[in-house]
Amino acid sequence: MPEELDVEQRWPELFAALDDAQRRAVLQSLANAWHEGWEPNREDVENLTARARGLIDQDEYLRRAHAAARRRAADEG
């Protein structure tokens, strides 16, 4: 695991359209997951920033998250 969470530096374009409150909320959510062992990846960050911006609703966010988890589990198994 990297020493610091660098998602904003890795994918600045995903954060460009967020206001300060949205940015802080996204970074806090990602930091919580990272401290629990989550490894940053573009797909997860893109989905969360899209949710924060209102581009997708909660149901779509969850659908995408579940689909990504199933793909990762299949890749590992």
Indicate whether 2 belongs to any domain.
no
User: Using one digit for the tens of pLDDT, what is the confidence trace for 38-63?
Assistant: 999 999 999 999 999 999 999 999 99
Indicate whether 35 belongs to any domain.
yes
Indicate whether 51 belongs to any domain.
yes
pTM: predicted TM-score of the whole model, two decimal places = 0.89
Indicate whether 42 belongs to any domain.
yes
User: Using one digit for the tens of pLDDT, what is the confidence trace for 61-74?
Assistant: 999 999 999 999 99
Domain that holds residue 54: 7-76
Indicate whether 1 belongs to any domain.
no
Indicate whether 62 belongs to any domain.
yes
Q: Residue 5 gets which letter from DSSP?
A: -
Q: Annotate 9-60 with DSSP letters as a single string.
A: HH-HHHHTT--HHHHHHHHHHHHHHHHTTPPP-HHHHHHHHHHHHTSS-HHH
Number of domains in the chain: 1
